[in-house]
Amino acid sequence: MTDFVFPAIAIPSVEVVGSRQRFPVRRIFCVGRNYAEHAREMGGAPPEAPIFFTKPADAIVPNGASVPYPSRTSNLHHEVELVVAIGRAGRDIQLGHALEHVWGYAVGNDLTRRDQQAAAKKAGGPWDIAKGFDASAPISAIRRVSPDDPHSHVTRGRIWLQVNGEMRQESDVSEMIWKVPELIAELSVYFELRAGDLLYTGTPAGVGALQPGARIECGVEGLEVLRNTISS
């Protein structure tokens, strides 16, 4: 038994649909500007290659929980996303085998300090403070794919987000510029993917500000609806 100098931090984990087992989270990877309309609303053309960034694993927020409004921002934004849960390790994964590494899918909300992100872009700095803050990665329970059913993978379907009952974002997963297999193949060139990794795949147009007290509902067709509130 390892003797730590203080009690080890619990492993972050996510609920699994229809199971008492939980999915342990190793790393969280995210993709920026993966819907053309969102790229344009952010003031630029769609990028020529996927833009990857990360969040800490303990930024996970479970479905139904309250999210504290983060410090040092006055422009907290919502970004609904399809999340891919990786269940098999791999490096330099071939495109045709990428889906073999997918364990399941969930709905995520890539919360963003938009003012901090804009400042970082202007200065040519990293996005860590804008994207990787505490409680910045709400996520629904993961729906496991069926190894024998290729149709259990999410390749299309409505993706949407409402704030206080008002529709803010609405598109289709098929509108992603880089699809799930392409993202996995490209990401695995930079990092060795392992079981427990999560991949937030990008958000459609319609991102906007959240205020304390906001009730957020978002979903992807066929997956559990994600519901969270913003506290002060």
Average pLDDT over residues 195-219: 98
pLDDT of residue 205: 97
Closest CA to 139 of 107, 104, 110: 107
- Whether residue 44 has pLDDT greater than 90: no
CB 175 within 8 A of CB 204: yes
3 located within any domain? no
pLDDT of residue 191: 98
221 located within any domain? yes
pLDDT of residue 45: 83
Using pLDDT thresholds of 50, 70 and 90, give the confidence band for residue 8: very high
Task: Work out how many domains the chain is built from and give that number.
Answer: 1
4 located within any domain? no
Average pLDDT over residues 203-207: 97
86 located within any domain? yes
Find residue 106's DSSP bridge partners.
83
Using pLDDT thresholds of 50, 70 and 90, give the confidence band for residue 67: very high
pLDDT of residue 92: 98
Average pLDDT over residues 73-84: 98
36 located within any domain? yes
1 located within any domain? no
Find residue 176's DSSP bridge partners.
35
What is the three-state SS of the chain?
CCCCCCCCCCCCEEEECCCCCEEECCCEEEEECCEHHHHHHCCCCCCCCCEEEEECHHHEECCCCEEECCCCCCCEECCEEEEEEECCCECCCCHHHHHHHEEEEEEEECCEEHHHHHHHHHHCCCCHHHHCCCCCEEECCEEECCCCCHHHCCCCCEEEEEECCEEEEEEEHHHECCCHHHHHHHHHHHCCECCCCEEECCCCCCCCECCCCCEEEEEECCCCCEEEEEEC
- Whether residue 42 has pLDDT greater than 90: no
pLDDT tens for each residue of 139-197: 999 999 998 787 899 999 999 999 999 999 999 999 999 999 999 999 999 999 999 99
8 located within any domain? no
Cα Dmax for the chain: 53
- Whether residue 94 has pLDDT greater than 90: yes
Find residue 86's DSSP bridge partners.
102
Strands 66-68 and 226-231: what pairing? parallel
- Whether residue 43 has pLDDT greater than 90: no
pLDDT of residue 192: 98
Domain hosting residue 46, numbered range: 13-231
pLDDT of residue 99: 97
Which is more confident, 43 or 177? Answer: 177
Using pLDDT thresholds of 50, 70 and 90, give the confidence band for residue 46: confident
List the CATH number of the domain containing 40.
Answer: 3.90.850.10
- Whether residue 207 has pLDDT greater than 90: yes
Question: What's the pTM value of the predicted model, to 2 decimals?
Answer: 0.97
6 located within any domain? no
CB 201 within 8 A of CB 83: yes
